[in-house]
Structure 1
Amino acid sequence: MSQFSPLFSRIVGTGSALPPQRITNQDLVDRLAARGVETSDAWIVERTGIRARHFAETGAATSDLAVEAARNALNAAGLAPQDVDLLIVATSTPDMLFPSTACIVQGKLGIVGAPAFDVQAVCAGFVYALTVADAMIRSGSAKTALVIGAEVFSRLLDFDDRATCVLFGDGAGAVVLARSTEPGILATEIHADGRHTHILQAPAQLSGGRVLGHPFVRMDGQAVFRLAVGLLDEAAQSVLAKAGQTCKDIDWLIPHQANLRIMQGTARKLHLSMEKVVVTLDAHGNTSAASIPLAIDVAMRDGRLQKGHTVVLEAVGGGFTWGAALLRI
């Protein structure tokens, strides 16, 4: 490669991991009924589009799911862990306060010396992490990046609050980004607005060996919905404009898998039919930072994503954070 050749990053491998315990809506309905909380499969499906999710077993850590997804992505890329010179994990459910989950994953994979760190942007975390990795590859700071979204959100659920406990699941997804002279990540955009921290949060902290505050997810669903559709459309339109593309150039939309109504709303704004939207929400629930890489891997392995396809990724998360990325497979 000439020193004057432009540098780009491309996805060269994808992988995912789900805990073996699959929880259907009816399983959850039965669990909640035992606590005196009333809901139904029909209520959950109508409001969210979710039919099942996976919960990690006791003792299983975010890093365990991340490592499995990472190994699958590296195998798909035909690479070894030692080929990775940058590792980023997007998560809101780290193994511990410190060190980072990325460092724990690095140790489990046997990678030595490469920078490894976590990104915390909740459900927008994977888009944030992908943006950082792309920038580092373009700058020449890295050649091969492992970007992972991994969560065990079931540990943050209040099963007395049916408005949130039916939404989330656990899982991990990973992509391998490699330096290339051919554009792969065409454009990215990330944002935050800290005025809205209160609408989606888990407001707890450790102090003196005790948990202070509310250690479960709290969400103002209507406020999130009102912000999400407009911001997602703006971010998607912006990355298209940056790359000189239009909505007509989109082959696939892979949004954060939070709520089917939000996904339908953003598809309409982009003038896309739902046939062009990759939906895994029904099977996985909302896996926060893991949802987009999980969906990418599903669509890669079932053959929907083909070389040359143009793909928009978009996500919103607590913070309030949001962003989009435009890819060419």
Structure 2
Amino acid sequence: MKDVYITRIAKFLPNDPVDNDGMEEKLGILDGKTSKARRIVLRNNRIKTRYYALDDKGKVTHNNAQLTKEAIELLCDDDFKIQDIQLLSCGTSSPDQILPSHAAMVHGFLKNGNMEINSVSGACCSGMNALKYGYLSVKAGQIERAVCAGSERSSTWLKSEVYEDEIEHLKELNGNPILSFNKEFLRWMLSDGSGAVLLEPDPKGKTPLKIEWMEGYSYAFELEACMYAGGDKEENGHLRPWSEFPANDWSKKSVFAVKQDTRLLGEYILEKGVNSLKLTYEKYGIGPDDVDYYLPHISSYYFKDGLYNEMKRQGIEMPLNKWFLNLENVGNAGAASIYMMLEELVQSGKLKKGDKILLHVPESARFSYTYAYLTVS
């Protein structure tokens, strides 16, 4: 088995940063009224700026596959060209279409010749699972140059026009066109962007990062869906998929809007996250003392103190001086967020040879968690 190193890393953030006051201008106002939920959500998540693949008039500037292509091209130069990629592995929760797959569409924009592709579906963990496919492929010696990426283009899922038919339908039913909080919540949480890495079996580059191991857990066997799109949740907790709705209900019920069961989120996301972290520590014989930089993907600063306190409660407290976060400035870009955090850490100049980095990515869709442990080589 080969060693595997992250030898190059890049991120792409579309257009100019959007501050809190500019969000509704970009995404649109619902029923002509400024959102009350926006103020509540932003106060809790404490995100100050984020990025959208939309211009000043709300017109789309990049689709998801184009965002991914941009990050991948930033990996390339005279020493590593896009034609040198042997495997392309991409993860996202917001693909541009159901078929063809996301990685196939990215490959179509790269136009770099024949290679293996892999598309990973899911939510935030899809970016990490794309990385794991590349990691295992290089480790097995099947290929020597794998590019892995995580990306999101959530903005078009959050635009006011997605909800217009439902609002009109609510007016007709009861005259009260107020969206449920689980639908509006994520409008003020999600953003666009992409990140990519190059994996190779040798420690090349200025700051090569050896992937020591990757680990994943799912709690779907005991918990119902918490974040979902393309369906609606029934009273018994089951998801009814879009394909079982009459077509004229798709817009009336905002079936394709991304939704969050905030009750489940608050009840389980931290407890299961720390439980899976504890299992990971036990499996690999490490603990907080064996980590120099801890990169947790959190969707909101609201969860930072809660995560720390839950770690403390379960006896695996991670000192706050080891945490590295960038949520405040780039927002929550789902599958791309961990790539963006790692890229910023590498570019910060803080890393030194021998430093240990722990990546921790939760996914609230149905409560999955993925980890990676890296060594600066």
Residues 160-182 of structure 1: CA distance to partner in whole angstroms, max 9, x if unpaired?
54422100000001111111489
Deviation at 1:18, TM superposition (A): 0.8
Distance 1:29 1:243, change over 3 A: same
Percent identity of equivalent pairs: 21
| Alignment coverage as a number of residue pairs | 323
Deviation at 1:158, TM superposition (A): 6.2
Distance 1:238 1:303, change over 3 A: farther
Distance 1:71 1:25, change over 3 A: same
CA contact (8 A) 1:151 1:172 kept: yes
Deviation beyond 6 Å, 4+ runs, structure 1: 206-211
Residues 21-41 of structure 1: CA distance to partner in whole angstroms, max 9, x if unpaired?
432111225654873243388
**Match of residue 52, structure 2, among 49, 52, 55:** 55
**Match of residue 169, structure 1, among 166, 169, 191:** 191
Counterpart residue number, 2:227: 200
- Which has the higher mean CA deviation after the structures are superposed, 199-208 or 271-280? 199-208
- Which has the higher mean CA deviation after the structures are superposed, 40-49 or 301-310? 40-49
- Which has the higher mean CA deviation after the structures are superposed, 169-178 or 236-245? 236-245
Q: Which amino acid aligns with 2:292?
A: D
Confirm whether residue 233 of structure 1 aligns to residue 259 of structure 2: no
Query: Rg bigger for which structure?
Result: 2
- Listed as ranges, the gaps of 5+ residues in structure 2 are 55-59, 161-178, 232-241
Counterpart residue number, 1:27: 22
Distance 1:37 1:15, change over 3 A: same
Q: Distance in 2 between matches of 1:175 and 1:148?
A: 6
CA contact (8 A) 1:44 1:50 kept: no
Counterpart residue number, 1:320: 367
Counterpart residue number, 1:17: 12
Give secondary structure in 2 for the equivalent of 1:64. helix
Distance 1:188 1:231, change over 3 A: farther
Deviation at 1:278, TM superposition (A): 1.8
Q: Distance in 2 between matches of 1:21 and 1:93?
A: 21
**Match of residue 66, structure 1, among 53, 65, 68:** 68
Give secondary structure in 1 for the equivalent of 2:76. helix
Q: Distance in 2 between matches of 1:112 and 1:254?
A: 35
Alignment of 1:302-313 (within 5 A): 302-313=348-359
Distance 1:300 1:193, change over 3 A: same
Residues 135-189 of structure 1: CA distance to partner in whole angstroms, max 9, x if unpaired?
2221222211111001101122265544221000000011111114898111211
Confirm whether residue 250 of structure 1 aligns to residue 267 of structure 2: no
Distance 1:278 1:109, change over 3 A: same
Q: How high is the TM-score relative to the length of structure 2?
A: 0.77
Give the superposed CA RMSD: 2.8
Distance 1:49 1:305, change over 3 A: farther
Counterpart residue number, 1:191: 217
Distance 1:71 1:306, change over 3 A: farther
Deviation at 1:280, TM superposition (A): 1.5
Q: Distance in 1 between matches of 2:275 and 2:62?
A: 38
- Which has the higher mean CA deviation after the structures are superposed, 33-42 or 266-275? 33-42
Q: Distance in 2 between matches of 1:290 and 1:20?
A: 16
Q: Distance in 1 between matches of 2:216 and 2:302?
A: 22
Deviation at 1:73, TM superposition (A): 2.6
Deviation at 1:325, TM superposition (A): 1.2
Distance 1:211 1:185, change over 3 A: farther
Counterpart residue number, 1:3: none
Q: Which amino acid aligns with 2:230?
A: P
Q: How high is the TM-score relative to the length of structure 1?
A: 0.87
Distance 1:237 1:187, change over 3 A: farther
Distance 1:105 1:209, change over 3 A: farther
Deviation at 1:209, TM superposition (A): 8.1
Q: Distance in 2 between matches of 1:128 and 1:72?
A: 21
Counterpart residue number, 1:281: 327
Deviation at 1:295, TM superposition (A): 1.2
CA contact (8 A) 1:88 1:146 kept: yes
Q: Distance in 1 between matches of 2:37 and 2:224?
A: 30
Q: Distance in 1 between matches of 2:352 and 2:289?
A: 17
- Which has the higher mean CA deviation after the structures are superposed, 192-201 or 61-70? 192-201
Q: Distance in 2 between matches of 1:111 and 1:178?
A: 19
CA contact (8 A) 2:4 2:202 kept: yes
Q: Distance in 2 between matches of 1:261 and 1:306?
A: 31
User: Counting strand residues as a fraction of each chain, which structure ranks higher?
Assistant: 1
CA contact (8 A) 1:44 1:51 kept: no
Q: Distance in 1 between matches of 2:347 and 2:63?
A: 25
Q: Which amino acid aligns with 1:60?
A: H
- Listed as ranges, the gaps of 5+ residues in structure 1 are 1-5
